[in-house]
């Protein structure tokens, strides 16, 4: 029987819940630790787990189903199932569990996620559909953020990011407190809840790679992976002799750039001779901007590294 | 007509003289500034504090630190300075280890090129 583990870490990093995903099982085991100490161990009547969201108060939302049964969403407090909803296949739950993405089957075009708000009424979880107008993500306080820079708050859809809808979502911080939108020459780091934002320029000829920005949880620092000309400096130097510049080979290079609010370039991590900065996963900055978490490749081996400056 | 020795002395005093000590001072200040700048740049370089080998880790960054591990490796939470906060999970033998127990890990220190 093939099993995989599903895990959920609370937004404050104190609670960790781990569940085995056993497709044909009648129940699975939920284990939770608080700061590394056992907090909960119980059986959950689900087999295939779709989504888990651990909250800061220790409660946990689990979405899944058993073979031949309808999808269910459970809210567990302590070792008791406090509330539940049936019939909603959940793809994703907001960090504060105020909203969820429900899977809709759309015939040949496949499934897509529709935002729903979540409310608790006694032992029932009530899900109510929100406005759907394209690709979106759910955030704290029931906010729905659309990929074109619009935000849905209390049922009203309004542009949030300057330049919307001519912007696109390039990435989110892990707890979705901040989002990074890219335009042609500028990138915007914005809070979907408060709307607070700062911007930084995208250099000429460079492009931010989607899904690879890393944003600190306090929104003060952001890393982006940019793809740019490997011979940018030489080409600039040869500007007086265009024929020389044209002879340089066309090669693109990917660098990791760290920006600080309000838009200052702090560092540029690029490939060195024997170690290569891996740019297919985000580099996450710490809230003080002094540490970065990511991957490097050394002699064909990947290492996950924490790098830090004094 | 020959000039008096007193007048000759006055001319000598009026001529701008090479002030070696001022040049030395300026050079020392320049060296100090350059050295200070290079040292500051040296401090700005990112150094590897923790390096994790031979694992396919999950990474969950938070404001206080980050979680790493999963599947066959224990879940471990480090703060952003690289200090282990807590660790839970199961080893390859399948038993759950105690919180805070330290397993083998590699620590390397080297500099990545960082410039701006």
Residues B52 and B75 in one domain: yes
Residues B101 and B68 in one domain: yes
Residues A231 and A189 in one domain: yes
Q: How confident is the model at residue A188 (pLDDT cuts 50, 70, 90)?
A: very high
CA A23 to chain centre: 26
> A286: how many CB neighbours lie within 10 A of its CB?
24
Q: What's the confidence (pLDDT) of residue B35?
A: 94
ipTM: 0.89
A286–B64 C-beta distance less than 8 A: no
| DSSP classification of residue A247 | H
Residues B65 and B94 in one domain: yes
Instruction: Report yes or no: A117 and A127 within 8 Å, Cβ to Cβ.
Output: yes
A72-109 pLDDT per residue, tens: 999 999 999 999 999 999 999 999 999 999 998 776 76
Domain total of chain B: 2
Q: State which residues form the domain around A62.
A: 4-129
Closest to B59 in 3D by CA, of A218, A283, A220: A283
Mean pLDDT to the nearest integer, B56-78: 83
Residue B50 has φ and ψ, to the nearest 5°, of -130, 140
Domain total of chain A: 2
Mean pLDDT to the nearest integer, A184-207: 89
Chains A–B, number of C-beta pairs less than 8 Å apart: 132
Check which CATH number belongs to the domain holding A282 and give it. Answer: 2.40.128
Residues A176 and A90 in one domain: no
Residues A95 and A163 in one domain: no
Residues B63 and B83 in one domain: yes
Residues B59 and B22 in one domain: no
Q: State which residues form the domain around B11.
A: 5-44
- Chain A residues whose beta carbon lies within 8 Å of the beta carbon of residue B39: none
A284–B64 C-beta distance less than 8 A: no
Where among A129, A161, A190 does a domain terminate? Answer: A129
Q: What is the pTM of this model?
A: 0.82
Q: A139 in a domain, yes or no?
A: no
Residues A202 and A263 in one domain: yes
Residues B38 and B84 in one domain: no
Residues A78 and A177 in one domain: no
Residues B15 and B34 in one domain: yes
B114–A269 C-beta distance less than 8 A: yes
CA A96 to chain centre: 14
Residues B113 and B93 in one domain: yes
A244-288 pLDDT per residue, tens: 777 777 777 778 888 999 998 888 876 554 567 777 889 999 999
């Amino acid at each position: 029987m093939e099993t995989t583990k599903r895990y959920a870490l609370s937004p404050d990093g104190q609670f960790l819940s781990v569940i085995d995903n056993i497709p044909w099982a009648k129940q699975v085991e939920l284990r939770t630790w608080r700061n590394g100490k056992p907090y909960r161990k119980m059986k959950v009547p689900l087999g295939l787990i779709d989504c888990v969201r651990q909250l800061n108060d220790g409660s946990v939302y689990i979405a899944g189903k058993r073979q031949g049964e309808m999808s269910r969403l459970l809210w567990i407090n302590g070792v008791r199932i406090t509330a539940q909803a049936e019939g909603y296949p959940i793809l994703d739950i907001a960090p504060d569990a105020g909203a969820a993405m429900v899977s809709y089957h759309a015939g040949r075009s496949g499934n897509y996620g529709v935002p729903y708000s979540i409310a608790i009424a006694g032992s029932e979880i009530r899900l109510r559909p929100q406005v759907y107008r394209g690709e979106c993500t759910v955030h704290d306080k029931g906010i729905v953020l659309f990929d074109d820079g619009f935000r849905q708050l209390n049922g009203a859809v309004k542009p949030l990011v300057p330049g919307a809808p001519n912007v696109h979502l390039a990435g989110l911080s892990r707890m979705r407190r901040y989002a990074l939108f890219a335009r042609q020459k500028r990138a915007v780091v914005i809070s979907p809840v408060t709307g607070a934002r700062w911007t930084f320029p995208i250099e000429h000829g460079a492009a931010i790679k989607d899904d690879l920005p890393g944003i600190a949880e306090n929104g003060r620092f952001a890393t982006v992976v940019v793809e740019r000309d490997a011979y940018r400096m030489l080409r600039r130097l040869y500007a007086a002799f265009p024929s020389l510049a044209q002879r340089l080979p066309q090669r693109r290079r990917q660098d990791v750039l760290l920006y600080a609010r309000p838009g200052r370039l702090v560092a540029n991590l690029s490939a060195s001779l024997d170690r290569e900065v891996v740019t297919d996963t985000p580099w996450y900055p710490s809230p003080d901007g002094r540490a970065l978490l990511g991957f490097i490749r050394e002699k064909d081996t990947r290492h996950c590294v924490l790098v830090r400056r004094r | 007509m020959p000039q008096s020795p007193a007048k000759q002395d006055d001319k000598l005093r009026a001529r701008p003289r090479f002030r070696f000590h001022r040049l030395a001072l300026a050079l020392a200040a320049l060296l100090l500034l350059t050295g200070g700048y290079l040292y500051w740049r040296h401090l700005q370089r990112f150094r590897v504090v923790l390096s994790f080998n031979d694992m396919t880790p999950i990474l969950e960054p938070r404001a206080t630190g980050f979680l790493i591990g999963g599947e066959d490796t224990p879940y471990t939470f480090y703060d952003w300075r690289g200090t282990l906060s807590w660790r839970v999970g199961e080893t390859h033998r399948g038993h759950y280890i105690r919180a805070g127990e330290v397993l083998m890990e590699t620590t390397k220190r080297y500099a990545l090129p960082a410039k701006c």
